[in-house]
Amino acid sequence: MAVLVGLDVGTSGTRALAVNPEGAVVAEATSGYEPDSPRPGWSEQRPEDWWRATREVLAAVAAGAGDQIVGLGLAGQMHGSVFLDSAGEIIRPALLWNDQRTESDCAAITERVGAERLLELAGNPALTGFQAPKILWLRREEPEAHARVASVLLPKDYVRLKLSGERATDASDASGTLLLDVRARSWSDEILDALEIPREWLPDVYEGPEVTAVVSDAVADDLGLPRGLPVAAGGGDNAAAAVGVGVVRERLISSSIGTSGVLFAHRDSFTPDPSGRVHALCHAVPGAYHLMAVTLSAGGSLNWWRERFGGRADFEPLVAEAADVEPGAEGLLFLPYLTGERSPHLDPRASGAFVGLTARHGRAQLTRAIMEGVVLSMRDGLEVMRALGTAVDEVRATGGGARSPLWLQLQADIYGCPIRRTGVDEGPAYGAALLAGVASGVFTDIEAATSSVRVRESITEPDPERARRYDELYATFASLYPALRDAMHALGRR
Protein backbone atom coordinates (compact mmCIF):
# COMPACT_ATOMS: atom_id res chain seq x y z
CA MET A 1 0.00 0.00 0.00
CA ALA A 2 1.24 3.46 -0.90
CA VAL A 3 2.28 5.77 1.92
CA LEU A 4 2.70 9.55 1.68
CA VAL A 5 4.95 11.59 3.96
CA GLY A 6 4.43 15.20 4.98
CA LEU A 7 7.16 17.21 6.68
CA ASP A 8 6.48 20.46 8.56
CA VAL A 9 9.47 22.66 9.48
CA GLY A 10 7.90 24.61 12.34
CA THR A 11 9.07 27.24 14.77
CA SER A 12 9.28 24.94 17.79
CA GLY A 13 10.06 21.69 16.01
CA THR A 14 9.89 19.63 12.84
CA ARG A 15 7.17 17.02 12.42
CA ALA A 16 6.78 14.18 9.94
CA LEU A 17 3.66 12.15 9.23
CA ALA A 18 3.16 9.07 7.10
CA VAL A 19 -0.39 8.87 5.73
CA ASN A 20 -2.13 6.20 3.67
CA PRO A 21 -4.43 7.07 0.73
CA GLU A 22 -7.49 6.75 2.99
CA GLY A 23 -6.10 9.56 5.15
CA ALA A 24 -5.08 7.53 8.19
CA VAL A 25 -1.81 8.34 9.93
CA VAL A 26 0.42 5.25 9.98
CA ALA A 27 3.62 6.75 11.47
CA GLU A 28 4.70 10.05 13.00
CA ALA A 29 7.68 11.69 14.66
CA THR A 30 8.59 15.10 16.08
CA SER A 31 11.92 16.68 16.97
CA GLY A 32 12.07 20.01 18.78
CA TYR A 33 14.28 23.08 18.97
CA GLU A 34 13.91 26.65 20.16
CA PRO A 35 14.15 30.08 18.53
CA ASP A 36 16.76 32.50 19.80
CA SER A 37 16.20 36.17 20.66
CA PRO A 38 19.64 37.84 20.81
CA ARG A 39 17.98 41.27 21.21
CA PRO A 40 14.46 42.46 22.10
CA GLY A 41 12.20 42.02 19.08
CA TRP A 42 14.66 39.72 17.29
CA SER A 43 13.83 36.10 16.48
CA GLU A 44 16.35 33.75 14.86
CA GLN A 45 17.02 30.06 14.37
CA ARG A 46 19.87 27.91 13.15
CA PRO A 47 18.93 26.20 9.87
CA GLU A 48 21.27 23.41 10.96
CA ASP A 49 18.72 22.61 13.68
CA TRP A 50 15.97 22.19 11.05
CA TRP A 51 18.13 19.78 9.10
CA ARG A 52 19.09 17.78 12.20
CA ALA A 53 15.43 17.51 13.18
CA THR A 54 14.41 16.62 9.61
CA ARG A 55 16.88 13.76 9.53
CA GLU A 56 15.62 12.44 12.86
CA VAL A 57 11.92 12.49 12.01
CA LEU A 58 12.26 11.20 8.45
CA ALA A 59 14.43 8.31 9.64
CA ALA A 60 11.86 7.48 12.31
CA VAL A 61 8.94 7.57 9.87
CA ALA A 62 10.89 5.61 7.27
CA ALA A 63 11.53 2.92 9.87
CA GLY A 64 7.78 2.65 10.36
CA ALA A 65 6.64 2.92 6.74
CA GLY A 66 9.54 1.32 4.86
CA ASP A 67 9.50 0.93 1.10
CA GLN A 68 5.82 1.87 0.89
CA ILE A 69 6.64 5.60 0.82
CA VAL A 70 5.92 7.01 -2.65
CA GLY A 71 5.87 10.79 -2.10
CA LEU A 72 7.20 13.51 0.21
CA GLY A 73 5.61 16.94 0.66
CA LEU A 74 7.06 19.92 2.51
CA ALA A 75 5.44 22.61 4.64
CA GLY A 76 7.00 25.11 6.99
CA GLN A 77 6.97 28.38 8.87
CA MET A 78 6.59 31.24 6.42
CA HIS A 79 8.56 34.45 5.78
CA GLY A 80 11.93 33.34 7.25
CA SER A 81 15.20 34.16 5.51
CA VAL A 82 18.03 31.67 5.06
CA PHE A 83 21.10 33.35 3.57
CA LEU A 84 23.51 31.06 1.72
CA ASP A 85 26.82 31.69 -0.03
CA SER A 86 27.90 30.37 -3.43
CA ALA A 87 28.89 27.04 -1.88
CA GLY A 88 25.47 26.66 -0.24
CA GLU A 89 26.86 27.33 3.22
CA ILE A 90 24.83 29.21 5.83
CA ILE A 91 26.05 32.79 6.30
CA ARG A 92 24.21 33.66 9.53
CA PRO A 93 21.24 32.44 11.60
CA ALA A 94 17.90 32.69 9.82
CA LEU A 95 15.56 35.59 10.61
CA LEU A 96 12.07 34.29 11.45
CA TRP A 97 8.48 35.28 10.71
CA ASN A 98 8.02 37.01 14.09
CA ASP A 99 11.23 39.04 13.92
CA GLN A 100 10.49 42.77 14.33
CA ARG A 101 13.84 44.46 13.55
CA THR A 102 13.00 45.70 10.05
CA GLU A 103 10.55 48.56 10.60
CA SER A 104 12.77 51.12 8.83
CA ASP A 105 13.41 48.69 5.98
CA CYS A 106 9.66 48.30 5.49
CA ALA A 107 9.41 52.08 5.17
CA ALA A 108 12.18 52.02 2.56
CA ILE A 109 10.37 49.32 0.55
CA THR A 110 7.14 51.32 0.60
CA GLU A 111 8.98 54.40 -0.61
CA ARG A 112 10.81 52.58 -3.41
CA VAL A 113 7.89 50.55 -4.76
CA GLY A 114 4.96 52.73 -3.71
CA ALA A 115 2.29 51.70 -1.23
CA GLU A 116 -0.48 51.19 -3.79
CA ARG A 117 1.74 49.42 -6.29
CA LEU A 118 3.05 47.08 -3.57
CA LEU A 119 -0.50 46.05 -2.66
CA GLU A 120 -1.36 45.59 -6.33
CA LEU A 121 1.62 43.35 -7.02
CA ALA A 122 2.39 41.59 -3.75
CA GLY A 123 -1.07 41.72 -2.14
CA ASN A 124 0.33 43.09 1.10
CA PRO A 125 2.03 46.14 2.56
CA ALA A 126 5.64 45.90 3.70
CA LEU A 127 5.51 44.10 7.06
CA THR A 128 8.38 43.39 9.43
CA GLY A 129 7.94 39.63 9.35
CA PHE A 130 8.25 39.25 5.57
CA GLN A 131 11.41 38.18 3.76
CA ALA A 132 12.07 41.24 1.58
CA PRO A 133 12.77 43.69 4.44
CA LYS A 134 15.07 41.11 6.02
CA ILE A 135 17.24 41.19 2.90
CA LEU A 136 17.40 44.98 3.09
CA TRP A 137 18.26 44.77 6.80
CA LEU A 138 21.18 42.45 6.03
CA ARG A 139 22.47 44.88 3.42
CA ARG A 140 22.18 47.80 5.85
CA GLU A 141 23.41 46.22 9.09
CA GLU A 142 25.70 43.36 8.04
CA PRO A 143 27.21 44.42 4.69
CA GLU A 144 30.01 41.85 4.81
CA ALA A 145 27.49 39.04 5.20
CA HIS A 146 25.31 40.57 2.49
CA ALA A 147 28.25 40.64 0.09
CA ARG A 148 28.54 36.84 0.39
CA VAL A 149 24.88 36.09 -0.41
CA ALA A 150 24.26 33.93 -3.46
CA SER A 151 20.91 32.42 -2.46
CA VAL A 152 17.96 33.29 -0.19
CA LEU A 153 15.58 30.51 0.78
CA LEU A 154 12.53 30.04 2.97
CA PRO A 155 12.87 27.56 5.86
CA LYS A 156 11.24 24.53 4.26
CA ASP A 157 13.08 25.21 1.02
CA TYR A 158 16.44 25.08 2.77
CA VAL A 159 15.43 21.59 3.91
CA ARG A 160 14.45 20.77 0.31
CA LEU A 161 17.93 21.84 -0.80
CA LYS A 162 19.53 19.54 1.78
CA LEU A 163 17.27 16.66 0.78
CA SER A 164 17.69 16.95 -2.97
CA GLY A 165 20.31 19.52 -3.92
CA GLU A 166 17.60 21.51 -5.74
CA ARG A 167 16.45 25.09 -5.11
CA ALA A 168 12.68 25.43 -5.40
CA THR A 169 9.70 26.92 -3.59
CA ASP A 170 5.93 26.95 -3.95
CA ALA A 171 3.59 29.83 -4.78
CA SER A 172 1.92 30.01 -1.34
CA ASP A 173 5.18 30.33 0.58
CA ALA A 174 6.76 32.59 -2.05
CA SER A 175 3.83 35.00 -1.82
CA GLY A 176 4.81 35.65 1.80
CA THR A 177 8.18 37.09 0.78
CA LEU A 178 6.80 40.40 -0.61
CA LEU A 179 8.81 39.65 -3.76
CA LEU A 180 6.18 37.71 -5.73
CA ASP A 181 3.76 39.07 -8.31
CA VAL A 182 0.85 37.26 -6.69
CA ARG A 183 -1.51 37.43 -9.67
CA ALA A 184 1.18 36.08 -12.01
CA ARG A 185 2.45 33.61 -9.35
CA SER A 186 6.06 34.42 -10.31
CA TRP A 187 8.79 36.72 -8.99
CA SER A 188 8.14 40.39 -9.64
CA ASP A 189 10.93 41.92 -11.69
CA GLU A 190 9.54 45.34 -10.82
CA ILE A 191 9.89 44.79 -7.06
CA LEU A 192 13.26 43.06 -7.39
CA ASP A 193 14.64 45.91 -9.49
CA ALA A 194 13.31 48.55 -7.10
CA LEU A 195 14.94 46.80 -4.14
CA GLU A 196 18.12 45.83 -6.04
CA ILE A 197 17.72 42.15 -5.26
CA PRO A 198 19.17 39.81 -7.92
CA ARG A 199 16.64 37.39 -9.41
CA GLU A 200 19.23 34.61 -9.37
CA TRP A 201 19.20 34.63 -5.57
CA LEU A 202 15.67 33.21 -5.61
CA PRO A 203 14.50 29.65 -6.37
CA ASP A 204 12.06 28.62 -9.09
CA VAL A 205 8.37 28.80 -8.12
CA TYR A 206 6.05 25.78 -8.46
CA GLU A 207 2.44 25.00 -7.59
CA GLY A 208 1.91 23.07 -4.35
CA PRO A 209 1.28 19.59 -5.81
CA GLU A 210 4.01 19.77 -8.48
CA VAL A 211 7.18 17.68 -8.29
CA THR A 212 10.23 19.87 -7.63
CA ALA A 213 12.97 17.31 -7.11
CA VAL A 214 13.76 13.80 -5.91
CA VAL A 215 15.55 12.94 -2.69
CA SER A 216 19.22 12.35 -3.45
CA ASP A 217 20.44 8.76 -3.31
CA ALA A 218 22.89 9.57 -0.50
CA VAL A 219 20.19 11.08 1.71
CA ALA A 220 17.68 8.35 0.86
CA ASP A 221 20.15 5.60 1.77
CA ASP A 222 21.16 7.40 4.96
CA LEU A 223 17.59 7.90 6.19
CA GLY A 224 16.06 4.66 4.93
CA LEU A 225 13.89 6.32 2.29
CA PRO A 226 13.26 4.80 -1.15
CA ARG A 227 15.59 6.03 -3.88
CA GLY A 228 13.99 8.36 -6.42
CA LEU A 229 11.40 9.62 -3.93
CA PRO A 230 9.63 12.65 -5.48
CA VAL A 231 9.43 15.85 -3.43
CA ALA A 232 6.32 17.98 -3.90
CA ALA A 233 6.54 21.76 -3.79
CA GLY A 234 4.24 21.76 -0.76
CA GLY A 235 3.10 24.94 0.93
CA GLY A 236 3.57 27.53 3.60
CA ASP A 237 2.37 26.15 6.90
CA ASN A 238 -1.05 27.80 6.85
CA ALA A 239 -1.79 26.93 3.22
CA ALA A 240 -0.74 23.32 3.79
CA ALA A 241 -2.82 23.13 6.97
CA ALA A 242 -5.82 24.46 5.02
CA VAL A 243 -5.40 21.62 2.50
CA GLY A 244 -5.21 19.21 5.43
CA VAL A 245 -8.62 20.29 6.75
CA GLY A 246 -10.25 20.59 3.34
CA VAL A 247 -10.41 24.38 3.07
CA VAL A 248 -9.99 24.26 -0.69
CA ARG A 249 -13.20 26.00 -1.80
CA GLU A 250 -15.00 29.22 -1.00
CA ARG A 251 -17.37 29.65 1.97
CA LEU A 252 -15.08 27.54 4.19
CA ILE A 253 -12.46 29.06 6.49
CA SER A 254 -10.07 27.59 9.01
CA SER A 255 -9.33 29.02 12.42
CA SER A 256 -6.04 27.95 13.96
CA ILE A 257 -5.01 28.78 17.51
CA GLY A 258 -1.43 27.77 18.11
CA THR A 259 1.44 30.07 19.11
CA SER A 260 -0.15 32.54 16.68
CA GLY A 261 -3.79 32.73 15.67
CA VAL A 262 -4.67 32.44 11.99
CA LEU A 263 -7.90 32.77 10.05
CA PHE A 264 -7.57 31.37 6.52
CA ALA A 265 -10.22 31.84 3.81
CA HIS A 266 -9.99 30.19 0.38
CA ARG A 267 -10.64 32.57 -2.51
CA ASP A 268 -10.93 31.61 -6.17
CA SER A 269 -9.65 35.04 -7.23
CA PHE A 270 -7.05 37.51 -5.97
CA THR A 271 -8.89 39.99 -3.72
CA PRO A 272 -6.36 42.03 -1.71
CA ASP A 273 -7.55 44.40 0.99
CA PRO A 274 -6.92 47.95 -0.30
CA SER A 275 -5.58 48.93 3.11
CA GLY A 276 -3.52 45.74 3.60
CA ARG A 277 -5.10 44.85 6.93
CA VAL A 278 -5.25 41.15 6.06
CA HIS A 279 -2.88 39.17 3.87
CA ALA A 280 -3.82 38.25 0.30
CA LEU A 281 -1.62 35.35 -0.80
CA CYS A 282 -1.48 32.37 -3.13
CA HIS A 283 -3.01 29.11 -1.91
CA ALA A 284 -1.23 25.76 -2.21
CA VAL A 285 -4.15 24.84 -4.49
CA PRO A 286 -3.05 25.57 -8.09
CA GLY A 287 -4.44 28.85 -9.37
CA ALA A 288 -6.25 29.68 -6.11
CA TYR A 289 -5.67 32.35 -3.48
CA HIS A 290 -6.49 33.02 0.14
CA LEU A 291 -7.06 35.77 2.63
CA MET A 292 -5.30 35.38 5.94
CA ALA A 293 -5.53 37.29 9.21
CA VAL A 294 -2.83 36.77 11.82
CA THR A 295 -2.83 37.46 15.56
CA LEU A 296 0.84 37.10 16.44
CA SER A 297 0.40 36.01 20.06
CA ALA A 298 -2.65 33.75 20.43
CA GLY A 299 -1.86 30.56 22.30
CA GLY A 300 1.44 32.35 22.93
CA SER A 301 -0.41 34.79 25.18
CA LEU A 302 -1.88 31.97 27.27
CA ASN A 303 1.52 30.28 27.48
CA TRP A 304 3.11 33.58 28.57
CA TRP A 305 0.50 33.89 31.33
CA ARG A 306 0.99 30.29 32.45
CA GLU A 307 4.78 30.53 32.59
CA ARG A 308 5.12 33.97 34.14
CA PHE A 309 2.14 34.27 36.45
CA GLY A 310 0.22 31.00 36.47
CA GLY A 311 2.71 29.10 38.58
CA ARG A 312 3.55 26.99 35.50
CA ALA A 313 0.30 25.15 36.09
CA ASP A 314 -0.83 22.69 33.44
CA PHE A 315 -3.08 24.23 30.82
CA GLU A 316 -6.01 21.99 31.74
CA PRO A 317 -6.63 23.36 35.26
CA LEU A 318 -6.08 26.92 34.07
CA VAL A 319 -8.63 26.53 31.29
CA ALA A 320 -11.03 24.68 33.61
CA GLU A 321 -10.97 27.66 35.98
CA ALA A 322 -11.62 30.03 33.10
CA ALA A 323 -14.57 27.92 31.89
CA ASP A 324 -16.38 28.64 35.17
CA VAL A 325 -16.17 32.41 34.61
CA GLU A 326 -19.04 34.17 32.85
CA PRO A 327 -18.46 35.73 29.40
CA GLY A 328 -16.75 39.09 29.73
CA ALA A 329 -14.50 37.96 32.61
CA GLU A 330 -16.33 40.27 35.02
CA GLY A 331 -15.61 43.41 33.05
CA LEU A 332 -12.03 42.59 32.01
CA LEU A 333 -10.59 42.74 28.50
CA PHE A 334 -7.14 41.69 27.26
CA LEU A 335 -5.26 42.99 24.22
CA PRO A 336 -2.99 40.13 23.06
CA TYR A 337 -0.34 42.25 21.37
CA LEU A 338 2.62 40.84 23.31
CA THR A 339 4.87 40.67 20.23
CA GLY A 340 3.36 43.50 18.22
CA GLU A 341 0.39 42.85 15.97
CA ARG A 342 -0.22 41.88 12.37
CA SER A 343 -3.94 41.87 11.50
CA PRO A 344 -5.59 44.27 11.21
CA HIS A 345 -3.34 46.82 12.90
CA LEU A 346 0.00 46.21 11.10
CA ASP A 347 1.83 47.54 14.15
CA PRO A 348 5.10 45.96 15.33
CA ARG A 349 5.12 48.39 18.29
CA ALA A 350 1.68 47.45 19.60
CA SER A 351 1.80 46.03 23.13
CA GLY A 352 -0.50 44.00 25.34
CA ALA A 353 -2.81 45.27 28.05
CA PHE A 354 -5.45 44.29 30.57
CA VAL A 355 -8.23 46.88 30.57
CA GLY A 356 -10.79 47.03 33.36
CA LEU A 357 -8.59 45.33 35.95
CA THR A 358 -9.86 45.61 39.53
CA ALA A 359 -9.10 44.08 42.91
CA ARG A 360 -11.87 41.48 42.47
CA HIS A 361 -10.18 39.84 39.51
CA GLY A 362 -8.18 36.68 40.13
CA ARG A 363 -6.35 34.08 38.10
CA ALA A 364 -9.52 32.56 36.63
CA GLN A 365 -10.83 35.90 35.37
CA LEU A 366 -7.47 36.90 33.90
CA THR A 367 -7.13 33.54 32.14
CA ARG A 368 -10.63 33.91 30.71
CA ALA A 369 -9.90 37.46 29.57
CA ILE A 370 -6.74 36.29 27.78
CA MET A 371 -8.59 33.55 25.90
CA GLU A 372 -11.45 35.88 25.00
CA GLY A 373 -9.03 38.62 23.94
CA VAL A 374 -7.26 36.28 21.54
CA VAL A 375 -10.49 35.30 19.78
CA LEU A 376 -11.78 38.88 19.78
CA SER A 377 -8.53 39.90 18.11
CA MET A 378 -9.00 37.16 15.50
CA ARG A 379 -12.53 38.42 14.90
CA ASP A 380 -10.94 41.75 13.93
CA GLY A 381 -9.47 39.97 10.92
CA LEU A 382 -12.69 38.09 10.21
CA GLU A 383 -14.61 41.36 9.99
CA VAL A 384 -12.16 42.64 7.34
CA MET A 385 -12.54 39.41 5.37
CA ARG A 386 -16.32 39.71 5.47
CA ALA A 387 -16.08 43.30 4.25
CA LEU A 388 -14.07 41.99 1.28
CA GLY A 389 -16.93 39.69 0.30
CA THR A 390 -15.86 36.50 2.10
CA ALA A 391 -18.97 34.47 2.88
CA VAL A 392 -18.61 31.98 5.73
CA ASP A 393 -20.81 28.91 6.08
CA GLU A 394 -18.52 26.95 8.35
CA VAL A 395 -15.32 27.37 10.34
CA ARG A 396 -12.97 24.42 10.71
CA ALA A 397 -10.88 24.64 13.86
CA THR A 398 -7.25 23.51 13.84
CA GLY A 399 -4.20 23.82 16.07
CA GLY A 400 -4.05 23.31 19.80
CA GLY A 401 -7.20 25.40 20.19
CA ALA A 402 -9.20 22.74 18.34
CA ARG A 403 -8.65 20.29 21.19
CA SER A 404 -10.07 22.56 23.90
CA PRO A 405 -13.87 22.72 24.36
CA LEU A 406 -13.56 26.26 25.77
CA TRP A 407 -11.47 27.53 22.84
CA LEU A 408 -14.00 25.94 20.46
CA GLN A 409 -17.00 27.52 22.20
CA LEU A 410 -15.32 30.92 22.33
CA GLN A 411 -14.70 30.78 18.59
CA ALA A 412 -18.31 29.78 17.88
CA ASP A 413 -19.75 32.49 20.14
CA ILE A 414 -17.40 35.31 19.10
CA TYR A 415 -17.43 34.55 15.35
CA GLY A 416 -21.15 33.75 15.38
CA CYS A 417 -20.52 30.63 13.25
CA PRO A 418 -20.68 26.87 13.78
CA ILE A 419 -17.26 25.34 14.43
CA ARG A 420 -16.31 21.88 13.21
CA ARG A 421 -13.25 19.69 13.56
CA THR A 422 -11.81 17.21 11.13
CA GLY A 423 -11.34 13.58 12.08
CA VAL A 424 -7.58 13.93 11.72
CA ASP A 425 -6.09 17.24 12.86
CA GLU A 426 -2.39 16.99 12.24
CA GLY A 427 -1.73 20.46 10.85
CA PRO A 428 0.59 21.42 7.99
CA ALA A 429 2.35 18.06 7.76
CA TYR A 430 -0.93 16.35 6.93
CA GLY A 431 -1.71 18.80 4.14
CA ALA A 432 1.84 18.41 2.83
CA ALA A 433 1.30 14.65 2.64
CA LEU A 434 -1.88 15.16 0.60
CA LEU A 435 -0.01 17.47 -1.78
CA ALA A 436 2.64 14.75 -2.12
CA GLY A 437 -0.17 12.37 -3.05
CA VAL A 438 -1.07 14.51 -6.06
CA ALA A 439 2.59 14.96 -7.03
CA SER A 440 3.23 11.21 -6.92
CA GLY A 441 0.07 10.25 -8.82
CA VAL A 442 -1.75 8.63 -5.90
CA PHE A 443 -4.48 11.26 -6.33
CA THR A 444 -5.52 12.86 -9.60
CA ASP A 445 -5.91 16.36 -8.15
CA ILE A 446 -6.46 18.38 -4.96
CA GLU A 447 -10.18 17.59 -4.91
CA ALA A 448 -9.44 13.88 -4.92
CA ALA A 449 -6.75 14.27 -2.29
CA THR A 450 -8.99 16.18 0.11
CA SER A 451 -11.89 13.77 -0.36
CA SER A 452 -10.20 11.73 2.38
CA VAL A 453 -10.63 14.62 4.86
CA ARG A 454 -13.43 13.59 7.20
CA VAL A 455 -15.35 16.10 9.34
CA ARG A 456 -16.53 15.02 12.78
CA GLU A 457 -20.26 14.79 13.36
CA SER A 458 -20.13 16.99 16.46
CA ILE A 459 -20.62 20.72 15.83
CA THR A 460 -19.93 23.53 18.29
CA GLU A 461 -22.81 25.92 17.72
CA PRO A 462 -22.84 29.54 18.89
CA ASP A 463 -25.04 30.19 21.90
CA PRO A 464 -27.37 33.10 20.98
CA GLU A 465 -27.16 34.84 24.35
CA ARG A 466 -23.39 34.53 24.64
CA ALA A 467 -22.99 35.60 21.00
CA ARG A 468 -25.04 38.73 21.75
CA ARG A 469 -22.86 39.45 24.80
CA TYR A 470 -19.68 39.02 22.75
CA ASP A 471 -21.00 41.32 20.03
CA GLU A 472 -21.24 44.02 22.70
CA LEU A 473 -17.78 43.21 24.06
CA TYR A 474 -16.30 43.22 20.57
CA ALA A 475 -17.45 46.79 20.00
CA THR A 476 -15.58 47.82 23.16
CA PHE A 477 -12.55 45.68 22.28
CA ALA A 478 -12.32 47.23 18.80
CA SER A 479 -12.24 50.72 20.32
CA LEU A 480 -9.25 50.03 22.57
CA TYR A 481 -6.33 49.80 20.13
CA PRO A 482 -7.05 53.19 18.48
CA ALA A 483 -7.41 54.76 21.92
CA LEU A 484 -4.19 53.25 23.30
CA ARG A 485 -1.93 53.22 20.23
CA ASP A 486 -0.06 56.44 21.01
CA ALA A 487 0.46 55.40 24.62
CA MET A 488 1.77 51.97 23.52
CA HIS A 489 4.30 53.61 21.21
CA ALA A 490 5.39 56.16 23.81
CA LEU A 491 5.94 53.49 26.44
CA GLY A 492 7.79 51.31 23.93
CA ARG A 493 10.39 54.05 23.44
CA ARG A 494 11.32 54.11 27.13
User: For 200, which DSSP code?
Assistant: G
Identity of residue 268:
D
Distance CA 185, CA 179 (A): 10
Q: Identify the bridge partners of residue 194 per DSSP, sorted by sequence position.
A: none
463 flagged as catalytic: no
Distance CA 453, CA 245 (A): 6
At residue 127, the 3 state secondary structure works out as coil
Distance CA 382, CA 245 (A): 19
CA dihedral 54, 55, 57, 62 (to 10 degrees): 130
**157 Cβ contact list (under 8 Å, min separation 6):** 74, 76, 82, 167, 168, 169, 173, 203
Choice among 237, 273, 380, 425 that is catalytic: 237
User: For 9, which DSSP code?
Assistant: E
Q: Are strands 289-295 and 279-282 parallel, antiparallel or unpaired?
A: antiparallel
**Residue 428: enclosing H or E segment and its boundaries?**
helix 428-439
Phi, psi of 230 (to 5 degrees): -75, 145
List the end-to-end C-alpha distance of the chain, in Å, as a whole number.
62
Evaluate the CA torsion angle 394, 396, 397, 399 in order and state its sign. Answer: negative
Distance CA 69, CA 73 (A): 11
Is omega for the bond preceding 35 within 30 degrees of 0, making it cis? no
**Residue 366: enclosing H or E segment and its boundaries?**
helix 363-387
Identity of residue 238:
N
Phi, psi of 359 (to 5 degrees): -65, -20
What Cα–Cα distance (Å) separates residue 6 from each residue in 23, 70, 230, 240, 390?
A: 12, 11, 12, 10, 30
Distance CA 440, CA 461 (A): 39
**Residue 256: enclosing H or E segment and its boundaries?**
strand 252-257
Evaluate the CA torsion angle 285, 124, 37, 480 in order and state its sign. Answer: negative
**Residue 263: enclosing H or E segment and its boundaries?**
strand 261-267
The catalytic residues are 237
